[in-house]
Every structure is written in structure tokens, then in C-alpha cells.
Chain A
Amino acid sequence: MDEQLQEDWLDRRLRDEMPYIDDAGFTARVVQNLPAPGRRRSFRAAILLSITVLASIVTYLASEGGRFLVVAAYRLAEMPLLFLSLVAISGTLVATAVAASAALSSVREQR
């Protein structure tokens, strides 16, 4: 019992000895020393853009000037209208369900 009392007392004293330290310009000094915003992002954007352009060129050359796109468009045009409508509606429903579940989980996390 005494042991427990002493432990509680010690924990309480330790927590009491941890007062809130006033910011007093500390945050401002840290922010002042941060690297300029945007540099990291623009570097990343440049890499992504270069990779995208390179991948597009490779795809264009490898597919005989994008012939597969023309073939795919012809195939789609030949499909029945009902089938195309069903595919479009199902796609919209799936996208809505995914967005709604993401929004719900975000709200739950914020609570």
C-alpha cells in the first residue's frame, strides 16, 4: 500500500515538474530556417513530367503511331448501345461508392 502511494506521489511530482514551455518565438525561428517552399515540389514535378513525356514517346513508337487507339475506338463503336450504357452506369456507381467510403472514413478519423 505504502509502495503504491509512494509510486503515485512520484508520478504526480514528475508530471508537475513538466510545466508548459511558452513558445516565445521558437516556432517562428524554426519556420525561418525551413527550406523555401515549392523547391521540393517543382523538382518532383519536373521528374514526373519528364517520365510522362518519355513514356508517351516510347508508347507512341512501340504502338506504330498509336494504332491501337484507333482499333479500340472502332471496337467500342461497334458495341451495342445498351452494353455501353451499362458499363458507364456501373463505372459511375463504383466511383461514387469509393468516394463516399473515403469521405466517411475521413470524417470518422477527424472525430
Chain B
Amino acid sequence: MPLNDADLVARVLVDDDHHAFAELVRNHQSPVRGLLRQLTRNDLALADDLAQETFLRAYKNIRSFRGEAKFSTWLYRIAYNCFREEARKRKELVGIDESVLEAEQDPHTVDPALRHDLMQALQLLPLHERSAILLCCQNGLSHDEAARVLDIPLGTVKTNVLRGREKLKKTLAAWGPN
């Protein structure tokens, strides 16, 4: 019988069990790497580096996982923090202003031929709306869970999801159901 997340975490805590932790990584690697790929605008190598860092931090700090939230929610939070730190480091290196990274891209600067693609439409969203959409609509987190991951108020998550959704609908209007 396969063990659930709580049992695997318990084994890591008590026995420092690498096999149990490997099982946790195997179970969660796909959604965590998927989220990071979307956040890094499909930079696969960077996304995998951040995913690796996410799981290493999870292992080192597993004692701080109290089981109040789902293990996946806790992982998403670490992944999002890793991404934020990396984004901050890169901004410092190339001297990009915070507002540039946060700001919405102008859809007209993107190749119009690619605009029909949903992933391209997602990349057009500002980071706070993209993160909220990815967590809630793509990864199936509740608004409350997404608020914990992003460390922002629940109302802000709802607003970001609503606004992001509206923008996506507008961008993809021609491809929607008729």
C-alpha cells in the first residue's frame, strides 16, 4: 500500500529516511517543476535548478512543516520563495527596476502569431496575476491556499485571479467557445 504524504514526512523526521523523501520528490516533482517553468517563462534549466533548491530546502526545513496545510501547498510556497529570490538576484545583476518585472507586458510587443497560444497569453500577465492564475486555475489550489503560498491577503488573491482571468479571456476571445 503506498504511503501518504504525512507518513512519508514522519519517516523523514524520525529516521532521516532518504527513500521516503525520494518518494515525496517523485510524487510532487511534476507540479512543482511545472509551476516553476511557468513562473520562469519556460526557462527549463532555471526552473529545474529552482525545483532542486525547493526540494533541498524542504528537506532541511521539514521540521517546520506542521501539517496544518497540505504538503504540496507548503512545497509551492518554498518554490515561490526560491523563484522570488532568484528574480531579485537577477534584477540586482542586470539593474532592472522592480516595476519593470512586475508590470504587465504590452501585448503588441509579442509576436501576434503566437498570441493565440494560451501559454503566451499567460506570459503577458504581470507576475502577481500569473502566479495566482497558475496556482488556483492550473494547480487547483483554493484561494485560501494560494494566499498562503504567495503570502498575500485572501482578497488580493481573488482580485488577481479575477483580473488575470479577464485578461486571458480578452486575449483568447477568438479561440473561446462560440
Q: Is the interface of A mostly helix, strand, loop or mixed?
A: helix
B47 to chain A, nearest CB (A): 10
In the complex the two chains form, what is the Cα distance from A14 to B16 in whole Å? 37
Asked whether any CB of chain A lies closer than 8 Å to the CB of B21, the reply is yes
A93 to chain B, nearest CB (A): 28
Q: A27-B26, A31-B18, A38-B16 are in contact. Are A10 and B169 (CB under 8 A)?
A: yes
Residues of B within 8 A of A41 (CB): 15-16
Q: Which of A18-26, A62-70, A79-87, A97-105 lies at the binding interface? A: A18-26
- Per a CB cutoff under 8 Å, which of A6, A13, A21, A37 touches B29? A21
Asked whether any CB of chain A lies closer than 8 Å to the CB of B22, the reply is yes
Residue from A9, A15, A27 with most neighbouring chain B CB atoms (10 Å): A27
Residues of A within 8 A of B51 (CB): 26
Residues of B within 8 A of A78 (CB): none
- 8 A Cβ contacts from A47-95 to B: none
A6 engages B176 (CB within 8 Å): yes
Q: A6-B177, A26-B33 are in contact. Are A34 and B18 (CB under 8 A)?
A: yes
Size bin of chain A's contact surface: 20 to 34
Size bin of chain B's contact surface: 35 or more
Residues of A within 8 A of B7 (CB): 110
- 8 A Cβ contacts from B71-127 to A: 118-119
Asked whether any CB of chain A lies closer than 8 Å to the CB of B165, the reply is yes
Asked whether any CB of chain A lies closer than 8 Å to the CB of B152, the reply is no
Query: Closest residue to A31 on the B side, CB-wise?
Result: B22
Chain A residues close to B by CB (< 8 Å): 5-7, 9-11, 13-15, 17-21, 23, 26-27, 29-31, 33-35, 37-38, 40-41, 109-110
Chain B residues close to A by CB (< 8 Å): 1, 4, 6-7, 15-18, 21-22, 25-26, 29-31, 33-34, 37, 48, 51-52, 55-56, 59-60, 118-119, 133, 137-140, 165, 168-169, 172, 176-177
3 tightest CB-CB pairs across the interface, nearest first? A21-B30, A37-B16, A27-B25
